[in-house]
Chain A
Amino acid sequence: MKIGLGIFAVALIALPYVGLPAFYESFSYLLLSAIVLATSWNILSGYSGYFSFGHGAFFGVGVYTTAGLAGKLDWPFLWTLPLAALAAAVLGVALGAVVFRVRALRGELFALLTLAITFVLATIALNTVDGGPGIQFMVDTPKLTPTASGFLYLLMLATAALTLWIAYAIYHSRFGTGLLAIHDDEDVAEVMGVPTYRFKLAAFAVSCALAGLAGGIHAVFVSYVTVAETFSIALAVNVVLMAALGGTRHWLGPAVGAVAITVLLYAFTSGQAAVLGRAMTGLILIIVIVAMPEGILGQILKRFRKNEVVRKPPVESARPAMKAKSGTILEVRGASKAFKGVQALAGVDLEVRGGEILGLVGPNGSGKSTLINVVSGHYAADGGSIRFESVELTGMPAHRIARAGIARTYQIPRPFPQLTVLQNIALPPMFGQVVMDRAAAEREAWRWLEFTGLEAKAHRLPADLNLHERKFLELARALASRPKLIFLDEVLSGLTPTEMDGALRLIRQIREQGATIVFVEHVMRAVMELTDRVVVLTYGKAIAAGLPRDVMRDPQVVDAYLGTAHA
C-alpha cells in the first residue's frame, strides 16, 4: 500500500519531464485544480454543513489578486500566490465574522447569501481591477520544467497535496469532530463545549485561502482572465456537485467526486456535446441528492461499517473523580427569561450544594427546562445572576460554561444523528475541563459505553437505538466530560419500571463518583427515593425548598399541583 502510493507520487511528479503531449499535462492540471476546489469547499461546507455557493467568489479573488499584481503591476508571480490566498482568507474571515454571528443564517439562507456575495464581488471586480475587457498578461515561470504549463501543473500538484493533507488532518482532529457536530446540531455542539463560532470562522478561512491559492495559479494558467469566466455560478455549482457526488462527510470524498465529474465533463467538451455535458451534470446532481445522499465514498464506507465488529479497546481504570467542593457551588439569583411575553422564568432563586442530588420539580410549564437551558447557556437569561464556583455565567457563551464543568441532558434526546454512538460520547471529553485529543477521548467514551451498557451499539448511529438506549446515550454523553455539576432533564420519562430501576442505580453511581446532580423529574417515586433536597418551581418561581418529605406536604406545593382547594 505504502509502496504503491510512493510510486504513484513519483509518477505524478515526473509527468512534466517525460514529454507526453501537452494535453495530458493540462488535463491533469484541471483534474488537480478540481480536487483542490472541491476539497477546500468541503472543509467548511461539507464538514460543518454550511453549504456555500460562493466558492467561485473566493477562487475569483485569488485569480484577480494574481492577475492584478503580476499582470498589471509586474510583481513576480510566485510572490503573488501567498497574497492571493491571504486576500481570499481575509475576505472570508471578514464575511464570516458578520455572518456566523447571526444564528438563523444557516442552510439555504447561507447558500443564498454566498451566492449574492459572488455577484457583488463580480460587479466590483468588473468595475475596478478588470475595467470590462478582462486582463491579459504573461509571466515568466521558473525554468524548472520543459514547459511553462508543466511548472503550473507541479504547483497545482503541490497545492492539491497540501489541500488533501489539511483536509485529512482536520478530519481526524478535535477541530474536525467539532465541525461534524456543528453539521448535525449546532446548538447542542455549543452546549457540549464546541466553540462553534471560532471553529466555523477557522474552517471558512482555511477553505477560502486554499481556493484563493488555486485561483492565483489558475490566473497564470489561463493568462487571460475575465469576470464572466472567473466568478461563474457554474464553478460554484460544479464544486458542490463534486463534493456531494463523492461524499461530503469524508475527507477524500470530494476528491473522488472531482475526478469523476472532471472526466465526465471532459467527455463532452466540444460544441453541442458541451451542452449535453451540462445537462448530464444537472441530472447527476438530482440523482445524487435524491438517491445517494452520502455520495459514492459514503455509500462504500457504509457497507464496510455495517460489517465492522465491535472491538472494545482495554478500558483504563477509572480516573480520579472530579470532586465537587462542598458548600454552595451553583447560586442562581433572580434569573428571568421571557419568550414573547410568556414569562418562563420570573426571578428564580436556587442554590445547589456540592455533592448533593437536588430534585427540581414542578407542574408542566413551570420553567424547569428553561432554567436548565439558561444555566447551560442554551438561552441567554434576560436578567439575574448565575454563579458557578463564584464565577458569573450569565453572558458567557455556552461552550465556556461546558468547559467550566457543567453538563446536561436533553429531555427529548438530541444525539448528533450522523455520528456513531461512540463518536457522540467521545465529543464532550474533547471539549471539557481537561481537553483530550481524539484517541484519548474515545478511550474515555468506552468507559461510559460500558457504564451505560451501550457497548454493543458503539458503531451504530443513534437512529438505530430505541428510546431507552437513546436516553442512556444522553446520559453517557453528559457524563463523559466528567462534569462537576450535571443537569438530568427527565431521563426517566417513558422508561418501563425495570428500565427505571437500572437508571436509578446509574444515577446513584454517578453521585458516588463525586458529581453533583440536579434532577428534573415528574416520576415522584424516583424523586423521593433519590434526592437529598427538593426545589419546587411554579410559574417561573421557586416556591419551596427543603427535604423531599417536608416539601411535598407544603400546602403551597399541593396547591400548585392540584389546584387551590375550595371546600
Chain B
Amino acid sequence: MGSAGSEDRLTVPSATLLGQSVLSGVFIGALYGLLGLGLSLSWGMLRQVNLTHFALAFLGGYLTFQLAAVAKVDPFVSLAITVPAFFALGMALHWFFMRFKVTLLNTLLVTFGLTSIIEAGIQWYWTADFQRMETSYAHVRWKVGPLYLSLPDVITLGLAVSLCVGMWAVLRYTDLGKAIRATTEDAPIAAAFGVNEKMLGYLVSGLAGAFAAVAGVCLALDHTLAPVQIYAWMGVVFAAVMMGGLGRPLGPLVAGIVIGVSEALTMAVTAPTWAPLVSFSLLIAILLFRPSKF
C-alpha cells in the first residue's frame, strides 16, 4: 500500500527517511487497526469470519467519494448516511447467518461470495479505474521538524484510536460490555442468566458494519480507490486481527501499527514490492505458533 515517504528507493536510508517511514507506518497501521476492529469483533464474538467487511469499507469509501464529487457533501457529513445504513447491513448479514445456521468456515465462503458481488457492483458503477476524492482536507499539511504530517493521516489515527479505545472501555466498564463478553464465552449460559444474546448479536454485527463505514471515509480521504484494492487489504488486516487476539478491541490497533511500521521500514530498505512478505509471513507465523488462540 503506497503511502507518503516510500517514493525514495534508497538502500541505506537517511534518518529522516526512516523517521518518515515509521510515521507513515503508524498511520497506515492505524487504518489496519480500524479495519480490523469490526473483523475482530464479529470473529471473536459472533464466530463469523466476515470478508464482506472489506467490501463494505470500500463501498463506504466510494459512497463518500460520490457524495463529495456530486453533491459536495463533506466526508464527515456523509457519515450520517453511511453509518446507519451500514449498521443495518451488518444486522442483515447477521440475520442471514442465523437464519441459515451458517458454520464458521462457511461464513468465510459466503462472505467471499458477497464480496465478489459488491466488488462487481462497484466496478460496474465506478469502473475498474483508480478514483481519488478531492477535498480540502488533503491539502492541509504540517511540517514537524524534518517530518511531514497530513490532516487525513491524523484524522485516521484519531478515529482509529478513539473507536478502538471507546469499544474497549464499553466492553470493560459497562454492563452492556459485560453482557457481550459473557455471551462471547458461553452464549447459552449467558442467556440462562437473562442476557438477551440474540439482541446483542445484532448489536455487535451492526457495530461492525458501522465501523466499516468509518473506515471507508478514511480510505476515501487518504487512499486511491479501485475495486481490486478490496483484496489487497485482506491479508494485512487479518494478520493484525489474529496477532491482536480475537474480540479484543485494542489488539488490532497495536498489532496493526507494529505491522504498518515494519512494512514501511521494509519498503524503505528494499523495494516496495517486497512489503507484502512482512504481513503475510507474520500471519503464517501466528497461525503456526498460536493456533489454539482462535
A105 CB-CB contact with B under 8 Å = yes
A116 touches B287 (CB 8 A): yes
Q: In chain B between 239 and 255, which residues have their CB closer than 8 angstroms to a CB of chain A?
A: 239, 242
B105 CB-CB contact with A under 8 Å = yes
A-B contact count (CB 8 A): 110
- Report the separation of the CA atoms of residues A115 and B242 in the bound assembly, to the nearest whole angstrom: 14
A57 CB → nearest B CB, Å: 11
B120 touches A104 (CB 8 A): no
Asked if A112 meets B283 with Cβ closer than 8 Å, knowing A281-B116, A286-B114, A290-B110, the reply is yes
Q: Which residue of A lies closest to B103 (CB)?
A: A107
- Report the separation of the CA atoms of residues A272 and B291 in the bound assembly, to the nearest whole angstrom: 42
B104 touches A108 (CB 8 A): yes
Asked if A126 meets B273 with Cβ closer than 8 Å, knowing A107-B105, A109-B294, A112-B283, the reply is yes
Asked if A123 meets B113 with Cβ closer than 8 Å, knowing A278-B119, A282-B120, the reply is no
B126 CB → nearest A CB, Å: 11
B203 CB-CB contact with A under 8 Å = no
- Residues of the B chain whose Cβ atoms lie less than 8 Å from the Cβ of A283: 113, 117
B273 touches A123 (CB 8 A): yes
B288 touches A102 (CB 8 A): yes
A123 touches B277 (CB 8 A): yes
B113 touches A285 (CB 8 A): yes
Q: In chain A between 168 and 219, which residues have their CB closer than 8 angstroms to a CB of chain B?
A: none
- Residues of the A chain whose Cβ atoms lie less than 8 Å from the Cβ of B277: 120, 123-124
- Report the separation of the CA atoms of residues A124 and B274 in the bound assembly, to the nearest whole angstrom: 8
Asked if A289 meets B106 with Cβ closer than 8 Å, knowing A116-B235, A123-B274, the reply is yes
Q: Which residue of B lies closest to A276 (CB)?
A: B120
Task: Choose one: B109, B120, B231, B239; the contact of A233 (CB below 8 Å).
Answer: B231
- Report the separation of the CA atoms of residues A115 and B49 in the bound assembly, to the nearest whole angstrom: 14
B49 touches A285 (CB 8 A): no
Q: Which residue of B lies closest to A279 (CB)?
A: B120
B280 CB-CB contact with A under 8 Å = yes
Number of chain B residues close to chain A: CB under 8 A: 40
Task: Choose one: B123, B231, B291; the contact of A109 (CB below 8 Å).
Answer: B291
A107 touches B104 (CB 8 A): yes
- Report the separation of the CA atoms of residues A514 and B114 in the bound assembly, to the nearest whole angstrom: 59
Q: In chain B between 261 and 280, which residues have their CB closer than 8 angstroms to a CB of chain A?
A: 271, 273-274, 276-277, 280
B284 CB-CB contact with A under 8 Å = yes
A416 CB-CB contact with B under 8 Å = no
Q: Which residue of A lies closest to B284 (CB)?
A: A116
A111 touches B105 (CB 8 A): yes
Asked if A123 meets B123 with Cβ closer than 8 Å, knowing A109-B294, A283-B113, A285-B113, the reply is no
- Dominant secondary structure at the B interface: helix
- Dominant secondary structure at the A interface: helix
B238 CB-CB contact with A under 8 Å = yes
Q: In chain A between 233 and 258, which residues have their CB closer than 8 angstroms to a CB of chain B?
A: 233, 237, 240, 244
Q: In chain A between 267 and 321, which residues have their CB closer than 8 angstroms to a CB of chain B?
A: 272, 275-276, 278-279, 281-286, 289-290
Mark interface residues in B59-94 (1 if CB within 8 Å of A CB, else 0): 000000000000000000000000000000000000
Task: Choose one: A127, A240, A278; the contact of B120 (CB below 8 Å).
Answer: A278
B115 touches A282 (CB 8 A): yes
B294 touches A117 (CB 8 A): no
Task: Choose one: B104, B105, B238, B288; the contact of A99 (CB below 8 Å).
Answer: B288
- Report the separation of the CA atoms of residues A107 and B105 in the bound assembly, to the nearest whole angstrom: 6
- Report the separation of the CA atoms of residues A117 and B283 in the bound assembly, to the nearest whole angstrom: 9
Asked if A108 meets B49 with Cβ closer than 8 Å, knowing A115-B235, A116-B284, the reply is yes
A51 CB-CB contact with B under 8 Å = yes
A129 CB-CB contact with B under 8 Å = no
- Residues of the B chain whose Cβ atoms lie less than 8 Å from the Cβ of A327: none
B193 CB-CB contact with A under 8 Å = no
- Report the separation of the CA atoms of residues A140 and B283 in the bound assembly, to the nearest whole angstrom: 42
B274 touches A127 (CB 8 A): yes
Q: In chain A between 40 and 85, which residues have their CB closer than 8 angstroms to a CB of chain B?
A: 51
A278 touches B116 (CB 8 A): yes
B182 CB-CB contact with A under 8 Å = no
Task: Choose one: B117, B119, B273, B294; the contact of A127 (CB below 8 Å).
Answer: B273
A98 CB-CB contact with B under 8 Å = yes
B124 CB-CB contact with A under 8 Å = yes
- Residues of the B chain whose Cβ atoms lie less than 8 Å from the Cβ of A244: 109
Q: In chain B between 179 and 203, which residues have their CB closer than 8 angstroms to a CB of chain A?
A: none
| 8 residue pairs, one from A and one from B, having the closest CB atoms | A285-B113, A282-B116, A279-B120, A104-B291, A282-B113, A282-B117, A286-B113, A116-B280
Given contacts A116-B283, A279-B120, A286-B110, 7 further A-B contacts (CB under 8 A): A108-B49, A113-B288, A122-B276, A132-B273, A283-B117, A285-B109, A289-B113
- Can you pick out 19 interface pairs between chain A and chain B where the beta carbons lie within 8 Å of each other? A99-B288, A104-B291, A112-B238, A112-B242, A113-B288, A120-B284, A123-B274, A127-B271, A132-B273, A237-B112, A275-B123, A278-B116, A281-B113, A281-B116, A282-B114, A282-B116, A286-B113, A289-B113, A290-B106
